[in-house]
Amino acid sequence: MASLRCLFACASVLCAFSLAAQNQSPLPELPADIPKDATIRMFVTDKTPSGQDAVWTTPDGLIHEFFQFNDRGRGPKTYTSYRVDDKGIVTFEETKGVNYMKTPVEESFSLSAGEARWKNQSENDHAGNAAGKFYVSLDAGPQARALLADALLKNGGKLQLLPSGEATIRRVQSLSLDAGGKKVTASLYEITGLWFTPSYVWLDENNQFVASTEGWTGLVRQGLESSLPDLQQAQEKVKGARAAELATRLTHKPAGDLVFKNVTVFDSINAKTIPSQRVTVRGERIVSVEPESGQPVSSDAKVADGTGHMLLPGLWDMHMHLDADTAFLDIATGVTTIRDLGNSIEQLGKLRKDIEEGKQIGPRVVLAGFIDGPGPFEGPIKVLAATPEEARQRVDHYADLGYVQIKIYSSVKPELVPVIIDEAHKRGLRVSGHVPAGMTADQFVRDGADEIQHMNFIFLNFMPDVKETRTPARFIEPGKRGASLDLDSEQVTQFIALLKQHHTVVDPTMGAWEGMYTNRPGKLQPATRRCSTACRSRRSAQRSQAADCPFPMQRPISSIAPRMPISSAC
């Protein structure tokens, strides 16, 4: 019960999200105040238009941007203004609106006489000697990335950044696109220094934004939507070549044994450390762990001196949506096995094959197949089932591909849940998932689910008045009302007994909730703050933090290198 209390306590803080602006249409309308001559870019999610980015310049030289997209009721809606100097450096930026989770945001930046000042929900800071440095915003729209790329190209391909760090750019390749009979040459540029992995942007002959794409999302200039798949494919080839180069350069396969001498071993079963051990690895297996004898090893063995170091068992990440970048970073952080709980069959299949063939550094992958129901809240992985026949077909297809688990998503009809579970169990697959809208966790367990993803669905079991759990309400209500739940009440203890009776486990994903529920205005998110402190303690003040910390520039990643937030998987 103590561990369960800890899980419940993590969501007892009032969630700061707003329920406003929950337009469920896939493509929201542009506001009436957007000028007719604005440049429009379309935001696309898995081939479906779901938002827009409008950019225009007023006679005073101010660049304006409006950005919005709809992701199952979530998504940003921001107005940003920029002013740049003749070298492309942003000297003024102001953003207002709401972010992906509908939290109000307000950001300002100014650069004058070499002094920079900025304020946002995480920072209120300034810097002297800032002339020629490019400010990396937290909340500005995609135009910020285009401005950075343009500034880099105007300044020799390298710029110092604010609050800290350095960015570089290089052109990778070019494609000829057809924009309604007019040819546009789009060049792919790779920007490094914002993250552990490069970010990419497509620009035209005048260094104006054409597109950016990441995973199943993309932003593309209106009129070039049909070219987005070609741009995505070309970019993936570039990323694949980079991954293969890294795999060749960083992967080492000793001809004989790999021996770690005099290393401290962490015994995860007994939760203790064992000093002065010798660990021998042969192929993909650990063949011995024994006290260090000091005796010589065979001449063909590769020896690593572990003095002063600790050897851990490979870590598992039980809830991931893997891509090439995270696959590489998993290994860098000691994660050697992951469970993928929702991904494109084709993309994950290729990534897994590349890992197995040594073209990509990455972990072992346990496969879980995603199934959702069609509708306005359907997930971005378009494996949908509306009838019992479709449900069985989806399960059988995953089973035939070697998947070991099915993940049910939020729009699956409650009456299809037992159908999916029955077919999955017949094929030897476990079943987990969100608790679909219209049913409770209690019903999900009684229907035979082996596992429940996300702790908020456990909370919602005791909030039966929350009927629509596909909107941000599934985050907001547990945050608002979690503290009032009596963990010693009969209904809670009975539910725990039900989980035990059915051997149903909970995948709580508490890492997602920590930032969501405990983030506060004026402070970095907890994980970012811990990393920032650790990085500062191990580097000099002059060294770029982007080189050795997963949170460059001591702050969350910005819209310059946009990525779907962790909550998008929830």
**pLDDT profile of the chain (570 residues), mean per 10:** 34 32 64 95 89 97 96 90 97 96 92 96 91 95 96 97 95 91 93 93 95 90 93 93 94 91 94 96 92 90 94 94 92 95 93 94 97 91 95 98 97 98 98 96 98 96 94 90 94 97 96 83 67 44 31 32 32
Reduced to 3 states (helix: H, G, I; strand: E, B; else coil), residue 348 is helix
CATH code 3.20.20.140 region(s) in the chain = 316-517
pLDDT of residue 530: 60
Helix 345-356 with 228-250: angle, nearest 10 deg: 20
Q: Where are the beta strands (DSSP E) in 33-103?
A: 39-45, 48-57, 63-69, 77-84, 90-98
Determine contact, residues 123/532, Cβ cutoff 8 Å. Answer: no
In whole angstroms, give the CA distance from residue 359 to residue 361.
7
pLDDT of residue 255: 87
280: part of which helix (H) or strand (E)?
A: strand 272-282
Phi, psi of 200 (to 5 degrees): -130, 150
Determine contact, residues 462/491, Cβ cutoff 8 Å. Answer: yes
pLDDT of residue 516: 82
Distance of alpha carbon 318 from the chain centroid: 15
CA gyration radius, the chain: 25
Tokens matching residue 201? 């942007």
pLDDT of residue 122: 83
In whole angstroms, give the CA distance from residue 278 to residue 58.
69
146: part of which helix (H) or strand (E)?
A: helix 143-154
Helix 324-332 with 345-356: angle, nearest 10 deg: 40
CATH code 2.30.40.10 region(s) in the chain = 258-311
- Of 434, 429, 443, which Cα lies nearest the Cα of 378? 434
In whole angstroms, give the CA distance from residue 325 to residue 300.
34
CATH code for the part of the protein at 258-311: 2.30.40.10
Determine contact, residues 138/560, Cβ cutoff 8 Å. Answer: no
Parallel, antiparallel or unpaired: strands 364-371 and 405-408: parallel
In whole angstroms, give the CA distance from residue 534 to residue 527.
11
Question: Superfamily assignment of 316-517 in CATH?
Answer: Metal-dependent hydrolases (3.20.20.140)
**Beta-ladder partners of 158:** 168
pLDDT of residue 489: 96
Reduced to 3 states (helix: H, G, I; strand: E, B; else coil), residue 407 is strand
**Beta-ladder partners of 74:** 71
> Can you give the pTM of this predicted structure?
0.80
Helix 417-426 with 388-400: angle, nearest 10 deg: 30
